[in-house]
Every structure is written in structure tokens, then in C-alpha cells.
Structure 1
Amino acid sequence: MKKLCLITSILPLFGCSNYNDDSEVRVKSVNEQQVSPITEKEPIKSSSSVNITGSPYKITDLKDQVMKVKNTGKKSDFVNTTPKKESAMLNVVLITQNPELKFGCEVTSLAMVLQYAGVKTTKMDLYNAIQKDPDPLIKSPNGNILRWGNPADGFVGDMTGKRAGYAVFEKPMIALINQKLPGRAINLTNLPFERVLAHVSAGYPVVVWTTGDYRLPDRWESWYHGRQHIKTPLDLHAVVLVGYDASYVYLNDPLSGKKQVRVGKEQFISSWKALQSRAVSYK
């Protein structure tokens, strides 16, 4: 297994940290705790009435109730009413994060998605535009991380790899999508994976968070950001979900440089859930 994105020889690997050359990889059985959350009239008079269970009920009231039911049935922006296909595959261009963005798997994956949507952008454009968390990395004398940024607020560290870098989570990515496609960002985070697949079925690739080898994370770290205690796996990665069938999902991986990588569906879902079921796209 290739290991990338080292901060120092004595520190664990950070975001976009590793991958396995085998297109199908097994799931490890681990019992680690999952990522801690990083710390949302007057009635119309009428002489017409009917008697239901002994109480008078006006026909106009009945019509009002019918209209209320119809209104509550309106679909939200997140609901896709198109039936999910049994399989789908989107021909999304592959973009690699290296050598310019050693820790830039999120913005590189987003560049693939936005280019598929017809947006004229590049990974470097998104690198410059994404929100950054400026808090510096502070380590103990023995190399443990004491304080750092919050990836929920912006990219933590240096994406280029000239200094230590980590990751960015869904909210800054949603903000960036809305910059490029105003009002069209879709946050699929914490929805059932079938909803994510339905979005792909409807023709939209999705940026999803996993690990570098699509296994359950096994390198955990924690630090403080202000008074917040952040616990998160270091072997974090982001890829583009471009297809699926009954047994597999297919991913464009900006780190390995492979297009439509086939990974067992249940295995991938396990790693995705361990990364707090994060997923973003557009409509």
C-alpha cells in the first residue's frame, strides 16, 4: 500500500493519506468510536354542514383540511421523485490532485463535479476560493497534535503540502458550490445512502467522504480548536461517486488517479458512515 501525505516521520498520515491499488478491498472489523461531532382565520360561515361522530363539521372546513394535506405534500429541494435506476454510470472527467495539491482531494473532487455541470473551473481555482481555517498547527514536544483548525469551518492546514494539511468538511464545500452554481448546491450529508445513489441515478455526480483505501478508518487523532474538542480520523479522503450497480459503487479517485474504481457497495457504505455520511452535489 502506498502511503502519502506525511507531515513528519513521527506523525500519523493526514487527509488523502493512502490508497490500495486493488480495485476491491476488504472491510476491516474494528470497534473504534465514530467521529465525534465537531463542535440546527375566522371560519367561513355556511349553512352546509355534516355530522361526523356526533359533532357538526362544515363542508368548507373539510375543504380547508384537504388543502392543508395537499400543501404538506409539496416536495422539498432534496427530494428526488424520479425512480432510482438499478444501475448508473456517469462519464465524469478524472482530475488528479497531485502534484499541486497534496492534501486537496476535496476541491479536486469538486472540480470534477463542477466541470461535469458545465462550470469553467479548475482545482486551483477552487483551492484559492475555498474557505480556510487559519488556526496554526500546534504540537507537543513528542509530536502529538494539541491545537489546530476545524474542518467544519474551512480547510485545515496547507493544501499544497508545503506545510501540514488535513481536510475540509461539507459546509464550506456547499458554500463553494453556491458560488459557482448560485442556489444549486445540494447537501446530502446524513441522508440514507440510497438517497445519494438516487442523486447519481438522476444524473448528478456526488463528492463523498471516505478513507484513502475505502476501509474503515483506523488512525484517529484529536485536538482542541478554541474550546472545541475535535476527534477525527487522519486517514480521510474525498472522491467522486460516479456510478453504482447492485453490488458495487464506482468512484473517480483524485489521489490514485483512477477513473470509475469499483468498490464493494457495503464496504464503501461502512467507510462513508464512519466519516459521518458526508456528501455534496448540485441540482
Structure 2
Amino acid sequence: MKSSFAFLLLVSGAVMNIEPTPEAALLYPYGLDQSDRKNPKLDDGTSKRLSLSVPFTFYSKEYRSLYVNNNGVISFDTKVKQYTPDPFPLVDGRPFVAPYWGDVDNVLGGDVFYRQTTDPALLKLITQNINQYFPSIPFTATWAFVATWDHVAYYGSTSNKGNTFQAVLTTNSNTSFVILNYKDIQWTTGVASGGDPKTGLGGTPAHAGFNNGDETNYYNIPSSRTEAVINITQTSNVNVPGRWVFQVDDFKVTGVPTEAPHAAASKSCWL
């Protein structure tokens, strides 16, 4: 269905809002000059299976490999080519981080970069940020994985709109965090998910959050799968507009009103 639409297209030519932070201060360095790799230009494409130099603990389980999926997902057990986001918790056991799960088409525009790193300068910056947001948790980053979706287009686009966002996984071998950065979000939905080709809006909007894979533990960032997700650059749980940060080894939600701690907290009344 999607491929036939692409052919026709080629032929036919409520979290508090706060002041934006400077873009340069939000995204961690990325790109080819940072020794990043790039995903193939492929609709619904993914990276190859990437072996991690250190284990990363997510919801109390250690993972030693992951995939960077074009459609805004970092997954641990299997590739995720699905383009229309389902609500969490998923019933099929897929554990993943979804910075912005939507129908990306990097053939039409943009790039998906990634790298794992022990660069001292980057780890120092990440450590400073985590210490600022979580002063009661002793943490010095010893490893990070940085994935960046740079001005990526949506499937079926007839516009120049692009989204730029980033997910950073980091650990000290005991405690793990995920940092989600949203620099520029201009669309929410691809055409195959019911979106408008001119605006990238409507249909089933993108989803941001975390899924453990056990059908019980998950977390939805407020506004996920609603039209308001386009405003995620203005919201935060650490008082930095466009940045969301979570401890994920034993998943904890901080800075966001919830119904109850642990698993039930993910069933947030915001959604």
C-alpha cells in the first residue's frame, strides 16, 4: 500500500509550556564529524543489529544489542518497521524506547545518525546534566549511545517539513538513563497513518514513551498519539524545554504527575 502511494506521489510530483532553550544547548553533538553512522535511505528501514560494548539495563533487564529504526524507535530484541504507532502497553512483547514513533521517510528527506561512545567530553557533559536533574543519585557516565533523527520527512510528504530529535542512552554499569531531546517537530503523521500530505498532521499522531514488553510496565509521555505531541519541544520533566529524562534501569517517573508509582504510574491521567 505504501509503495504504491509513493509511486503515485513521484508521478504527480498538557504539561506546562515554558520558554524555548537555545538549540545548540539542547542536542548533543551528532553527525559524520562525530564519527556517526547513518541508516540507509529506506522507507521503514532500520540499522543492522548493533552490538553494545557494555550492557544497558532497561526495566531491570540487561541488553547487549539494539536496533535504530527509521520510524523513531530504538528497539532491543527485534527490528521495528511498523509505521503507525500502537498505544502502550504493546501486547507483542517488544521492548523499546520511542523518542518519536511515527512514519518517517528519510528517502524524502533527512538522515538518521547513531553511535556508541566513551568520548570523555561528551560523557562529562552528560554526567553534568544527569547530576543536575537527579542530584540525589550518584552518577558518572561511562558510556553513551546517541541516535539522532535529523530533519526527517514523513511518508507521503508534499512539503519541506522535517523533524529533528534525539535519544541518548547512558550508563555507569549500574544505573541507566535515557535522555530525549526535541529540537524541531513540524509534523506528527505520515499519509499511510491518515495524515495530510501537505501538513503532516491528522490521522494517528506520533507516540513518545517506553515499553517494557511485559504488557504491564510502560510509560507514555504526555500528549503522545494526540495532535498536541507537536508541542513536545515546549514541554519537559526536567525544566528544560524539549528535554525529557528518565532513569530506566528500574524505571522511575519524575517531574510528571502520575496516578501511582511504578507500573500504574505509566497509565498517566495526562493521556
Same-fold call, TM cutoff 0.5? no
- Higher relative contact order, structure no. (Cα contacts within 8 Å, ≥ 6 residues apart): 1
Normalized per residue, which structure has more strand? 2
Radius of gyration: which is bigger?
1
TM (norm. structure 2) is: 0.28
TM (norm. structure 1) is: 0.27
Normalized per residue, which structure has more helix? 1
